[in-house]
Amino acid sequence: MSVNRKAYLDARHRIEVRREPIPAPGRDEALVAIKANGICGSDIHFYHEGRLGNFVVTRPYAPGHEASGEVVGLGEGVVGLSPGDRVVIEPGIPCGRCRRCRSGRYNLCPEVVFLSAPPIDGTFCDYLSIRADMLHKMPDSMSFEMGALAEPTAVAVHAVNRGAVRNGETAAILGCGPIGLLTLQAFRAAGGARAVCVDGIASRRIKAAELGADMTLEPGPACEVLRDTADVVFETAGSSAATAAAFAFAQPGGRVVQVGWPEKNGVDLDVAGVSRKGIGLYRRQPLRQRLPRRDRVARRRARARRRLDHTSLSLRPGGGGVSVCPGPSGGSDQSDGVELKR
């Protein structure tokens, strides 16, 4: 292909596919031919609402950050990669120089550039030039579609690690979209014993049960049985109501991990109750050194991957895959299980 097709989203909720020159990789960069993209819940927020948290679409930009592809070019100074390598893209690009980066906590770099966070362009394109150390080689047995799931699976693995899951513990997972389902599997892989999943959509509760949830519940009065029962609660729905409920479901001394991004920045919270119960609150921070570990998880979870519902669509004008995804209602899971392929 002699041109780079790139899908731009504008502030009027329109997607336009433009044809541009293929970028040339600079020093320490690699040129990647994108083979598959996941559509994140954040992409859907930006498409339907034009914003997510403090990020606002003010001018056209390219969404997408859950991507895999093939290295087709190398800039000066790149080592460890060769044309033809199949890779997963780590979308958060740190400066590499600040105190946090130098201490190994590069996910907290104040200068991090995150692909697809407006106005930064993402991976909804044919070719992307990116710093080579943000690329992770895929196992030969891994498909590009599975590679596109590496980033959301890394989110789930990171959330479970943040929750310090121990053998035999009980979890409540609020939200059964792809991130919730991946968190369920990561929780099991970490030694978690009992998992209760909550979602308002029946098909998602069925899928959670198929993937090993011990109990599934619909939000509302039925969830009263969860009060003070969970060692760790994962909020993966991106819902303010779910965030507030999470602290009621955690047992005294338990932990709450905020994985989703609520539809509003402020959440009503019983601070006195949280303090009395001694609950620890953890935010699923941007990723750090989780994508290589995703390779090992993927080898054990290939069958579960095939059981996650997904739809494959082509990159095309008129909204493409994003336009077929439902708009978020009171929050959104981080991923909608839709892939854009070349």
Which pLDDT tens digits describe the chain residue by residue (342 residues)? Answer: 689 999 999 999 999 999 999 999 999 999 999 999 999 888 988 998 898 888 999 999 999 999 999 999 999 999 999 999 999 999 999 999 999 999 988 888 999 999 999 999 999 999 999 999 999 999 999 999 999 999 999 999 999 999 999 999 999 999 999 999 999 999 999 999 999 999 999 999 999 999 999 999 999 999 999 999 999 999 999 888 898 899 999 999 999 999 988 777 777 777 877 888 888 888 765 555 545 554 555 544 444 455 565 566 666 655 455 555 555 544 444 444 445 555
Q: What domain count does the chain have?
A: 2
pLDDT of residue 272: 79
* 140 and 243 housed in the same domain: no
197: nearest Cα among 167, 247, 165, 237 = 237
pLDDT of residue 317: 53
Give domain status of residue 326, yes or no: yes
Torsion over CA: 315, 316, 317, 318 (sign): negative
* 10 and 138 housed in the same domain: yes
CA atoms within 13 A on the CB side of 19: 3
* 277 and 174 housed in the same domain: yes
pLDDT of residue 309: 58
Give domain status of residue 302, yes or no: no
Q: At what angle do helices 291-300 and 150-162 cross, to 10 degrees?
A: 100
* 124 and 37 housed in the same domain: yes
CA geometry: angle 138, 313, 178, nearest 5 deg: 65
* 252 and 145 housed in the same domain: no
* 128 and 9 housed in the same domain: yes
Q: Domain of 176?
A: 154-283
* 137 and 169 housed in the same domain: no
Give domain status of residue 294, yes or no: no
Give domain status of residue 293, yes or no: no
pLDDT of residue 320: 52
The domain that holds 266 is classified in CATH as 3.40.50.720
